[in-house]
Structure 1
Amino acid sequence: MKIKDIIAVLDEMAPLAYAEDFDNVGLLVGDRNAEAKGVLVCHDALEQVIDEAIRNNCNLVVCFHPILFSGLKKITGANYVERSILKAIKNDIAIYAVHTALDNHKNGVNKIFCDALGLVNTKILVPKKDFIRKLVTFAPVENADAVRNALFAAGAGKIGNYENCSFNSEGIGTYQGNSDSNPVVGQKHEFVKADETKIEVTFESYLSKKILDALFVSHPYEEVAYEIYDLRNELKNIGLGMIGELKTARTERDFLQLVKDAMQAEGIRHSQYRDRPVKKVAVLGGSGSFAISAAKRAGADAFVTSDLKYHQFYEAENELLLLDIGHFESERFTKNYMVDFLKEKIPNFAIILSEVNTNPVKYF
């Protein structure tokens, strides 16, 4: 097995196309064509984690946070990032990061967060925008099924919990080929009126090339008529944060204790109590202050996240309870999920969970 084969599985778990534009995900260090010896899964690919990979004969480190986030102009070992990269390169260890690609996945970071708190009826809090396109094409009636099925196989026609979604209408198509044409129906220079089916399907934008390849291969015409539109629809199954419900409402103090125990938080900063029960809960693993307003709009009684600044606690405005449980704590179980996913997809291969605690924040 090569590293690129494991990358294909990782892209199934956390498609890189789901990542935010600011992020740096994917293969950060190493040769994708190298033979894979073993995989070490961690939260942060620090130097001590690279040492752990060396001890366990793992030449691929899969991390949640990218150790390389912004550009480097030199690699001299002057800081913790450069030291990690140098050691990885010297020991032929590849590093692959998932970060917001897994944040945005419906089964990723925030679903793990929800499950840890026992939330039910979960849905995405901040759906991803500008990610959906629509293909409109026209095929001879007798070929419509084949074209449509090829588009479905390439990933088109998925809407929420439904697959193979399309809209089809019958009409008359016209064309007239020139001297260089080779029409499937009719002759050169002949004005042709043909019974055609108009096929409309939506798809995630990163699939554009795959969708068009499927269209051109399956379509019988020499020149394929098609249109692609960018849609303003939100993609409800992809995005940041989640909101769900506790099975039973709790007092605010009981809820804080639940969160502290479930996420193994050593301390929780929170906004002023509202003296109201907590039933509907929003979560966002990592830095989530940008989603406070979204949690309010969704009617959350509490919003659990991390990295809140002093003045951001004022934004609770007695509308919800804000909890800052710590960045690492809010993503605590992510690496366990990654290990379980890889073990299920690649059985009988060395997939190791890192034992190094990379949380840089300590409590007195």
Structure 2
Amino acid sequence: IYATHTALDNAKYGVSYRMAEELGLKNIKTLIPQRGFIKKLVTYIPKSHFEMVKEELFKVGAGKLGNYEESSFSINGTGTFLGNEKSNPMIGEKGKRSTIEETMLSVTFLPHLESIVLKTLLKSHPYEEVAYEISTLNNQYDHIGMGAIGEFKEEMSTNHFLNKTKNTFNSGVVRHTNSKNKKIKKVALLGGSGAFGIKNAIQSGADAYITADLKYHDFFQGESILLCDVGHYESEQFTKNLLHEYLSKKFSNFAILCADAQTNPVNYY
């Protein structure tokens, strides 16, 4: 399920975000924002129908990113077309080239909306044949991605932090790098096997990185950051509660039950 490592429709639904909340971090953000995710629609609309088509696209979610809605860009220009004998142009005559004042509209949207955005465009646009382009942007999208990063209100000693981490995740043991009496305030987290995120945690300026399944050689990357392995199950234990809350909110007419069974195959002696 997409919630286990990434976000659903907002970073707050990711398990790493929940880990950060349970640890008591504030100002939580996505550690590794998604790239190659945002879609862009470019289309050309006669001025007489421009506002109507734009409003219809806004209604289905086009132009909404993060905390902003109804975002778009437009440029006025001139379009031409020549319909054949089988055409039925809304403006102009078939067999004759028409020159029309048009406005280019550019809007971004999230990929799960592509079908409804395209359907709405074709339904609301007055032309028999609609010219449009849909592309995928390489832009970073901070609201969806992997991992989380946040800060404590006050910095704390390494020992205090390790005790807090062990108690929060109920870990049998926390494997970690040499603390060197480091002060901890900014913390990055990624549930499950998160060795690949070490470089992102370091680049973000985190004092510590909490994840799981670190191998022996992974710990050699911890010269400038406190690496903490709390256990795979322990790092993902909040997932079922997260999904229970999300599904209960989305399907209020159904009884969503949360199992109490302990399924961690790892034991500590």
Three-state SS of the structure 1 residue aligned to 2:246 is helix
Aligned equivalents of 1:326 and 1:296: distance in 2? 20
Aligned equivalents of 1:200 and 1:101: distance in 2? 30
Q: Partner of 1:229 in structure 2?
A: 135
Deviates more, 1:186-195 or 1:150-159: 150-159
Aligned equivalents of 1:101 and 1:218: distance in 2? 34
1:201-212 aligned at under 5 Å gives the runs 201-212=107-118
Aligned equivalents of 1:281 and 1:167: distance in 2? 38
Task: Output the amino acid matched with 2:5.
Answer: D
* Contact 2:23/2:165 (8 A) holds in 1: yes
Deviation of 1:344 (Å): 2.8
1:63-212 aligned at under 5 Å gives the runs 98=1, 100-105=2-7, 106-107=11-12, 108-212=14-118
Q: Partner of 2:236 in structure 1?
A: 331
Deviation of 1:190 (Å): 2.5
Deviates more, 1:168-177 or 1:321-330: 168-177
Q: 132, 151, 164: which is aligned to 1:258? A: 164
User: Percent of pairs identical after alignment?
Assistant: 45
Q: 249, 252, 256: which is aligned to 1:344? A: 249
Three-state SS of the structure 2 residue aligned to 1:186 is coil
Q: CA-to-partner distance for each residue in 1:87-137, whole Å, 9 max, x for gaps?
A: xxxxxxxxxxx2x44421012211111110111111111111221221110
Q: Partner of 1:213 in structure 2?
A: 119
Q: Please, what TM-score do these two structures have when normalized by structure 1?
A: 0.70
Matched, 1:278 2:150: no
Q: Comparing both chains, which one has the higher relative contact order based on Cα–Cα distances under 8 Å and sequence gaps of 6 or more?
A: 2
Three-state SS of the structure 1 residue aligned to 2:257 is strand
Tell me how large the CA RMSD over aligned residues is. Answer: 1.5
Matched, 1:356 2:258: no
Moved over 6 A (4+): none
* Contact 2:3/2:15 (8 A) holds in 1: no
> Which 5+ residue runs of structure 1 have no aligned equivalent?
1-97
Aligned equivalents of 1:109 and 1:188: distance in 2? 58
Aligned equivalents of 1:153 and 1:285: distance in 2? 36
Q: 150, 154, 159: which is aligned to 1:248? A: 154
* Contact 1:134/1:203 (8 A) holds in 2: yes
Q: CA-to-partner distance for each residue in 1:213-243, whole Å, 9 max, x for gaps?
A: 1111111100101112221112211111011
Deviation of 1:348 (Å): 5.0
Three-state SS of the structure 1 residue aligned to 2:115 is helix
Q: CA-to-partner distance for each residue in 1:74-93, whole Å, 9 max, x for gaps?
A: xxxxxxxxxxxxxxxxxxxx
Q: Partner of 1:65 in structure 2?
A: none
Q: CA-to-partner distance for each residue in 1:289-346, whole Å, 9 max, x for gaps?
A: 00000001111000000000011001112x1100000111111112112222222333
Q: 204, 209, 227: which is aligned to 1:322? A: 227
Task: Output the amino acid matched with 1:335.
Answer: K
Aligned equivalents of 2:264 and 2:28: distance in 1? 28
Q: Partner of 1:302 in structure 2?
A: 208
Distance 1:363 1:250, change over 3 A: same
Three-state SS of the structure 1 residue aligned to 2:93 is coil
Aligned equivalents of 1:134 and 1:264: distance in 2? 44
Task: Output the amino acid matched with 1:307.
Answer: D
Deviation of 1:142 (Å): 2.3
Q: Partner of 1:66 in structure 2?
A: none
Deviates more, 1:200-209 or 1:210-219: 200-209
Aligned equivalents of 2:58 and 2:5: distance in 1? 26
Q: Please, what TM-score do these two structures have when normalized by structure 2?
A: 0.93
Three-state SS of the structure 2 residue aligned to 1:351 is coil
Aligned equivalents of 1:346 and 1:175: distance in 2? 49
* Contact 1:144/1:197 (8 A) holds in 2: yes
